[in-house]
């Protein structure tokens, strides 16, 4: 019998009991769409974490005092790291002084940014800050201890109600700084608002706010590329170990290691979501098997008739197997449609990103599950003896 005939007969069988076939298809639809949507949610959240890590700046190393360490970083340490001979893989070095608990005053408005950073112009490039208005302060501003400041959009919103503040002045802990630029919005990096920031020359910050005693808070180092990040890390560690005569009083944190950890955790998240969804697909497959078993029992007589008038075992097997696959594949198609449509909406604060592999996988798995769960019922139908099948009431 030709494949077309088998398909025609199987389609007739599916159509014969529309409600039952429909409910089984629904079960499969839910399974397939769950796989697609949940993997898309996992994928979307990973993309968001990736984007926020990237927004920290790429190829970045962070040099910090180790927990309990008693070192002080100075501008000379920063200069030593920028040495092209000792650290050929280092591209930019930015000394960083964090001024905490500073109050900004502009007219009647006062505000306390969560991050006030005294640094050098290179910091903006390393951290991927772009300017939406004005300009970054210059190296000359740093060397001349000029009291200028670049504000983040959140700070501008609070102090100037969003008006362009370039040229205005703000008082930081009582000292007047001139606003020279506003950074473009970067959003949150997952833990903090990167727009709630003020950048000023490291010298001016030390003069007016923090003083020189505590030295630098940290040093931000940018490697020449992602490939030499590990080499740059080794160079930085080696230089500082020599200078501080201690290897465990400071730590060099690698940006890509943060990304790896974050990626690993979101991958686990995606896998878990996928696994939950796969279980619902399994349940859908068992539903197909259940319905096929009922159908085979109910149609025992029909099987007997077909066999009596010349159906071979393979014909009966193919008929019921095709029925199971038609049901599950139909559920797969509707599941893909529902999954793709469902992934257009924001779910639990995450913008789902459909993974092409999950669509192919879910649809393929639905067809295979029809084949797998249809085999036993179809085999049972094919093995029936015609005399007994015909006598069945």
Partner 1 sequence: MSERPVIHLRDVTREYRVTEEVVVHALRGVSLRIDQGDYVAVMGSSGSGKSTLMHILGCLDSPTAGRYELDGVDVRDIPEDDLADLRNRKIGFVFQAFNLVPRTTALANVELPLTYAGVPRATRRARAAAALRTVGMGERLHHQPSELSGGQQQRVAVARALVTNPPLILADEPTGNLDSHSTAEVLDVFERLHNAGRTIVLITHEEDVAARAQRTIRLADGLVLSDTAQQAFAA
**Binding interface with partner 1 (CB under 8 A):** 1-2, 5, 9, 12, 16, 301-302, 304-315, 386-387, 390
Alpha carbons 194 and 282: distance in angstroms, whole number:
44
User: Closer to partner 1 at the Cβ: 92 or 380?
Assistant: 380
Q: Which residues, other chains included, contact 325 with Cβ-Cβ below 8 Å and sequence gap of 6+?
A: 367, 370, 371, 374
User: Closer to partner 1 at the Cβ: 240 or 311?
Assistant: 311
User: Closer to partner 1 at the Cβ: 105 or 305?
Assistant: 305
User: Closer to partner 1 at the Cβ: 6 or 80?
Assistant: 6
User: Closer to partner 1 at the Cβ: 148 or 384?
Assistant: 384
- State the minimum distance, in angstroms, from the CB of residue 312 to partner 1: 4
- State the minimum distance, in angstroms, from the CB of residue 297 to partner 1: 15
- State the minimum distance, in angstroms, from the CB of residue 310 to partner 1: 2
Token reading at 196? 């709630």
- Centroid of chain to Cα 31: 23
- State the minimum distance, in angstroms, from the CB of residue 301 to partner 1: 7
- State the minimum distance, in angstroms, from the CB of residue 329 to partner 1: 22
User: Closer to partner 1 at the Cβ: 68 or 310?
Assistant: 310
User: Closer to partner 1 at the Cβ: 12 or 174?
Assistant: 12
Token reading at 322? 């095709």
User: H-type helices in the chain, by residue range?
Assistant: 3-16, 18-55, 75-81, 122-126, 139-143, 153-160, 202-205, 229-244, 255-298, 300-308, 313-342, 356-383, 386-391
Contact 150, 182 (CB under 8 A): yes
Q: How many CB atoms lie within 10 A of CB 12?
A: 11
Pairing of strands 115-119, 90-99: antiparallel
Alpha carbons 344 and 274: distance in angstroms, whole number:
18
Token reading at 253? 């944190």
- State the minimum distance, in angstroms, from the CB of residue 4 to partner 1: 9
- Centroid of chain to Cα 294: 44
- State the minimum distance, in angstroms, from the CB of residue 370 to partner 1: 22
């Amino acid at each position: 019998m030709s494949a077309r005939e088998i398909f025609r007969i199987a389609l007739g069988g599916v159509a014969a009991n529309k409600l039952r076939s429909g409910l089984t298809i629904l079960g499969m639809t839910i399974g397939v769409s769950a796989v697609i949507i949940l993997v898309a949610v996992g994928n979307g959240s990973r993309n968001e974490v990736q984007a926020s890590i990237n927004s920290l700046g790429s190829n970045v190393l962070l040099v910090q005092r180790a927990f309990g360490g008693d070192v002080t970083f100075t501008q000379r340490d920063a200069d030593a790291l920028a040495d092209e001979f000792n650290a050929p893989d280092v591209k930019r070095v930015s000394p960083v002084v964090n001024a905490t608990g500073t109050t900004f005053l502009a007219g009647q408005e006062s505000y306390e940014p969560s991050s006030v950073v005294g640094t050098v112009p290179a910091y903006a490039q390393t951290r991927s800050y772009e300017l939406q208005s004005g300009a970054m302060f210059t190296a000359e501003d740093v060397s001349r201890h000029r009291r200028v400041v670049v504000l983040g959009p959140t700070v501008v919103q609070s102090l100037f109600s969003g008006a362009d503040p370039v040229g205005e002045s703000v008082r930081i802990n009582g000292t007047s700084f001139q606003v020279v630029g506003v950074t473009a919005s970067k959003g949150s990096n997952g833990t903090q608002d990167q727009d709630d920031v003020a950048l000023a020359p490291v010298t001016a910050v030390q003069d007016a706010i923090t003083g020189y005693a505590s030295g630098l808070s940290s040093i931000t180092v940018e490697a020449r590329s992602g490939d030499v990040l590990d080499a740059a890390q080794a160079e930085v560690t080696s230089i500082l170990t020599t200078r501080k005569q201690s290897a465990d009083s400071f730590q060099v944190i690698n940006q890509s290691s943060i990304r790896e950890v974050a990626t690993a955790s979101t991958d686990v998240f995606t896998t878990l979501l996928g696994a939950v969804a796969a279980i619902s697909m399994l349940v859908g497959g068992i539903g197909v098997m259940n319905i096929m078993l009922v159908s085979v029992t109910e149609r025992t007589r029909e099987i007997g008739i077909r066999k009596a008038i010349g159906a071979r075992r393979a014909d009966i097997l193919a008929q019921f197997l095709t029925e199971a696959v038609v049901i599950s594949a139909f559920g797969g198609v509707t599941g893909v449609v529902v999954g793709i449509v469902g992934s257009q909406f924001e779910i639990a604060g995450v913008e789902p990103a459909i993974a092409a592999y999950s669509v192919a996988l879910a649809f393929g798995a639905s067809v295979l599950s029809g084949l797998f769960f249809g085999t036993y019922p179809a085999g049972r139908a094919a093995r029936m003896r015609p005399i007994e099948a015909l006598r069945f009431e």
